Each structure stands twice: as structure tokens, then as C-alpha cells.
Amino acid sequence: MDGFFLDTTLNRCWLNVTLAPMNSPVLIACAHGTRNTDGQAAIRQVMADIEALRPGLRVVEAYVDVQEPELGGVVEGLPEGTPAVVVPLLLSTGFHIKVDVPKAIKTRPEVVAAKPLGPDARLAELLATHLRAAGLEENDGVLLAAAGSSLPDGSVDSEEQARLLGDLLPNKVRVAYGASAQPTVPDGVASLRAELATEPDGPAGRVFIASYLLATGYFHDQLAKAGADVVAAPLLPSKVLAEIALERYDAVLERLS
């Protein structure tokens, strides 16, 4: 349970409890959705953490795939004229951000969308913590495994997150994708292992996968089959995700004020 024991700096957000002003826009916490019950619980805990950090703020759950309630239905179900901010509990800009979310809110001008959770330096800190807890050493290589996007520019955010992680570690950090983009995670593991084998000093290090996923589920399960030596825990559980979500929400309100 490495992911449960985090540096206290990663839980600093829990001290920043702020009462929501009256008539604050609804926060629609929109996740991808998963059939994995542990993953479902982890996402709902993020929503509960948001409510705990901002007492009085109405937080509504929604999903773009797999689970109900579906985002479009949630938006339609809001009383006409109710201001709301869709905060994607997603890690990068991809099809869901550029297509599904705009489609769901296009007929409701009082509902606007925030940026996704990543890339963010705090996510890099969290990834590094999980890697160290899993036994990462200096001669090991790290493959940041992201979900992937079919959009031509869908890898930009993941590459930036890999750069932020690389700034924190002395290790080689590369990026690969679970679906819809190249290289695939198995190919990324093989490429990184070959790269480590060419290092002149000592035996080749191991290949660690940094799971750039919110929680356990189908994609995380596939990482164990990719040929790496170690797969670190996904990002959750951590209250940092709730802190970032609220910052994305507040940024929209500041922009509109």
C-alpha cells in the first residue's frame, strides 16, 4: 500500500479549508469512468475531499464514459440559468476535453469548463513519491505511462508531465501510452531497457513504470503486463488532486469575474 504513505507536503492542501461564498457556481466533477470498484471509490473520494476543502460548495459527479451519470445528462438536469463549472478529473487535454465536454455544455452558456488536472508540478511530486516508495534507485529508468489520446496534439500534456517528473529525479524519464498514441507502454519499456543497457557504468538499471493514471482500473492493470521490473502506484489516494481541482475551478471564476 505504498501510495497511502505520502510525504506531509503532499497533504498540505488539507490545511487550506475555505468556506464557499453563497451562490457559488456548482462544481461538476467530471471523471472518465471505470468498472473497477476500487477506482470508482478513489474518484468519489476526490469529490468528497473537494467538499471537505470547500464547505458549502455543491459538488456534482459526472462521467464521460463507462459510468453514470453521464456529463450531458447532468448539465441538462441543472435548473435553467444555474451557473456551473465542469472540472475534468482528467490528466491531460484529449478527446474528452476537446470534444465531449464542449458538446455537453454547448447549449448552456452559464456552464463553463475548467482545465484538466495535469500537467502540474504537484503531480510530479506525487509520482516521484510513489516511485521512491517502490524502490527506485539512481541507475533505474522511469517510463511515465499515460492513457493516450487519438488527437494529434494529445501527447503534449503528458510530455510536459514527464519533463516535470524528470526535473525531480536523476533518472532517465521517458513517456509511453496505454492506447491511441505511440509508443505503446510495452514498446516504451523495451526501448528504455535497451537504452539503459548501453550505460557505461555498472550493470543496467531496472525499468520502473510511473502510473500516470488516477486510480486502479483497466489501464493500470495492463501496466503489469508491459514487461517492466516495477509498476508504481497510480496517483490516488491523495488529497492533492482535490486541491488542484479547486484551483482549476477558482481559475475559471477569476477569469469570468
- All structural domains of the chain, each given as residue ranges with its CATH number in brackets, are 2-117+239-256 (3.40.50.1400), 121-231 (3.40.50.1400)
pLDDT at 20: 87
Which among 29, 72, 99 is positioned nearest to 244, based on CA atoms?
A: 29
C-alpha cell at 221: 492493470
Q: Is 244's pLDDT higher than 70? A: yes
pLDDT at 171: 97
Q: Is 205's pLDDT higher than 80? A: yes
Query: Sign of the C-alpha dihedral, residues 131, 31, 48, 160?
Result: positive
pLDDT at 70: 97
Residues 31-77: tens digit of each pLDDT: 999 999 999 999 999 999 999 999 999 999 999 999 999 999 999 99
Query: Sign of the C-alpha dihedral, residues 212, 214, 215, 218?
Result: negative
pLDDT at 127: 98
pLDDT at 216: 92
Which among 184, 128, 146 is positioned nearest to 32, based on CA atoms?
A: 146
Query: Residue 122 and residue 55: Cα distance in Å, rounded?
Result: 23
Residues 158-199: tens digit of each pLDDT: 999 999 999 999 999 999 999 889 999 999 999 999 999 998
Q: Where are the beta strands (DSSP E) in 20-164?
A: 26-31, 59-63, 84-88, 111-113, 141-146
The CA distances from residue 14 to 19, 124, 189, 240, 254, in Å, are 13, 19, 36, 8, 22
Residues 81-140: tens digit of each pLDDT: 999 999 999 999 989 999 999 999 999 999 999 999 999 999 999 999 999 999 999 999
pLDDT at 204: 86
193 Cβ contact partners less than 8 Å away, ≥ 6 residues apart: 141, 204, 207, 227
pLDDT at 112: 98
Confidence of residue 15 (pLDDT cuts 50, 70, 90): low
Backbone φ, ψ for residue 103 (5° rounding): -60, -40
pLDDT at 130: 98
To 5 degrees, how large is the angle CA 213–CA 235–CA 88? 60
Confidence of residue 249 (pLDDT cuts 50, 70, 90): very high
